[in-house]
């Protein structure tokens, strides 16, 4: 039973708020938090390490599988804690590239999506996960921005996307990207807590550089990331190099203007001594002119340690169209002529199931003729 389902049933008796306050969720907790919980329940402190590895490393699906714990300890955990799962709503498989998109229920009338993205050679297996229910921003090219924002995800709900997707596909991820629904910097603490559990060798055991955190340009979050010396990869969804035009497609630019965003990127590369990634959705007649290529190259040169991922537009609800292959080649050619930064033309896996970049909006199979 999901936690929200149980709360819904208890709500008839007016107890849903009490349940939320009184019953701690085991998933999403750090080892230290589990130690404090064990002590509060009268269990030995060292039991926390067994619970921690059981959740994240062994990927146990219920408390009965924690056989390193005594039966009495398991019963106590069943009585005083919760071990919920987000609920699968839909599982769509691409006929083109092996991508799978999963819709999950995280509360009544609250849905999110996560995407399994295998590489062509099978070596890289990425899960793109969500950090919010809907989004606080309104990027014109992103379908998620059309959805109503219904709240931040808890750490356990972020991590459970990975646990559920891995179980459903029968494989484990090699990489995690926080590029699904929502703005990760607007749910900073839950996102970073999840990332550290993913990185921990006693947790999920992924290397820090196999985890990428993204932002549409929330500079306050970037500065916090730098000050905390976070070890993870970092990506900025730039999408327009003209400060006057960027606001027309990304409302985040009104509060966090492009010049401040570029300064935060410079600080990132200088203080953390790591490259930063600029994501650039290519939209014909909007941001693909030669002047745009030159401006983008200038930004890349000023930041110094960076790479640029160019992404053909995937959505069409605005009336904009996807660029042709020739238009992409021309833009990239002019970009390469002005900067030595690595440029990657990212493919768009999962387009036929509305699972590609910018398409997560709780929709099913694409019906238009392509």
Annotated binding site for S-adenosyl-L-methionine: 182-183, 214, 237-239, 314
Contact 267, 226 (CB under 8 A): yes
- The residues near 170 (Cβ < 8 Å, ≥ 6 apart) are none
In Å, what is the CA distance from 70 to each residue of 24, 46, 53, 61?
A: 20, 13, 16, 17
Buried b / exposed e over 197-230, threshold 16 CB at 10 Å, is bbbbeebbebeeebbbbbbbbbbebbeebbeeeb
Name the pairing type of β-strands 125-128 and 110-118.
antiparallel
Q: Of 24, 1, 6, whose CA–CA distance to 16 is shortest?
A: 6
Separation CA 4–CA 264 (nearest Å): 39
Residue position matching structure tokens 């990927």: 59
Distance, CA of 137 to CA of 185 (rounded, Å): 11
Question: Which sequence positions are flagged as catalytic?
Answer: 113, 357
As given in the structure block, the two tokens for residue 101 are 């998109």
What does the alpha-carbon distance between residue 6 and residue 249 come to, in Å, rounded to a whole number? 41
CB within 8 Å of 322: residues ≥ 6 apart: 312, 313, 314, 316
Q: How far apart are CA 89 and CA 261, in angstroms?
A: 37
Contact 181, 360 (CB under 8 A): yes
In whole angstroms, give the CA distance from residue 72 to residue 187: 37
Residues in binding site: 135, 139, 142, 182-183, 214, 237-239, 314
Report how far residue 311's alpha carbon sits from residue 41's, in angstroms, rounded to the nearest whole number.
51
- Could you tell me where the beta strands, DSSP code E, fall in the chain? 87-93, 100-107, 110-118, 125-128, 132-133, 151-152, 175-178, 211-215, 233-237, 276-282, 306-312, 343-345
Known binding residues for [4Fe-4S] cluster: 135, 139, 142
């Amino acid at each position: 039973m999901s936690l929200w389902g149980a709360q819904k049933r208890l709500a008839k008796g007016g107890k849903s708020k009490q349940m939320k306050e009184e019953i701690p969720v085991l998933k999403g907790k750090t080892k230290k938090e589990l130690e404090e919980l064990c002590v509060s329940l009268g269990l030995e402190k060292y039991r926390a390490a067994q619970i921690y590895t059981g959740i994240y490393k062994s990927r146990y699906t219920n408390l009965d599988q924690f056989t390193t714990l005594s039966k009495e300890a398991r019963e106590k955990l069943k009585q005083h804690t919760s071990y919920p799962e987000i609920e699968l709503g839909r599982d769509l498989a691409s006929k083109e590239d092996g991508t799978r998109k999963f819709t999950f229920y995280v509360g009544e009338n609250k849905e999110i999506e996560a995407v399994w993205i295998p590489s062509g050679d099978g070596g890289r297996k990425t899960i793109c996960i969500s950090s919010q229910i809907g989004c606080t921003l309104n990027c014109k090219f992103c379908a998620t921005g059309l959805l109503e924002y219904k709240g931040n995800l808890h750490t356990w709900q972020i991590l459970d996307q990975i646990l559920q997707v891995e179980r459903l596909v029968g494989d484990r991820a090699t990489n995690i990207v926080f590029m699904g629904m929502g703005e990760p910097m607007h749910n900073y603490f839950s996102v970073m807590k999840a990332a550290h559990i993913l990185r921990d060798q006693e947790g999920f055991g992924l290397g820090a550089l196999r985890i990428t955190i993204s932002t549409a340009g929330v500079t306050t979050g970037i500065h916090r990331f730098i000050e905390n010396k976070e070890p993870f990869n970092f990506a900025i969804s730039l999408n327009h190099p003209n400060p006057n035009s960027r606001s027309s497609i990304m409302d985040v630019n009104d509060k966090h203007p492009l010049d401040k965003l570029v300064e935060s990127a410079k600080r990132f590369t200088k203080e953390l001594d790591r490259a930063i990634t600029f994501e650039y959705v290519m939209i014909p007649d909007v941001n693909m002119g030669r002047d745009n290529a030159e401006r983008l190259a200038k930004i890349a040169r000023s930041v110094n340690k960076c790479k640029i991922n160019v992404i053909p537009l995937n959505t069409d609800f605005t009336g904009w169209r996807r660029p042709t292959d020739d238009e992409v080649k021309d833009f990239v050619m002019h970009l390469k002529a002005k900067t030595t930064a690595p440029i990657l033309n990212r493919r768009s896996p999962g387009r036929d199931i509305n699972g590609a970049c910018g398409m997560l909006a709780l929709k099913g199979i694409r019906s238009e003729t392509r």
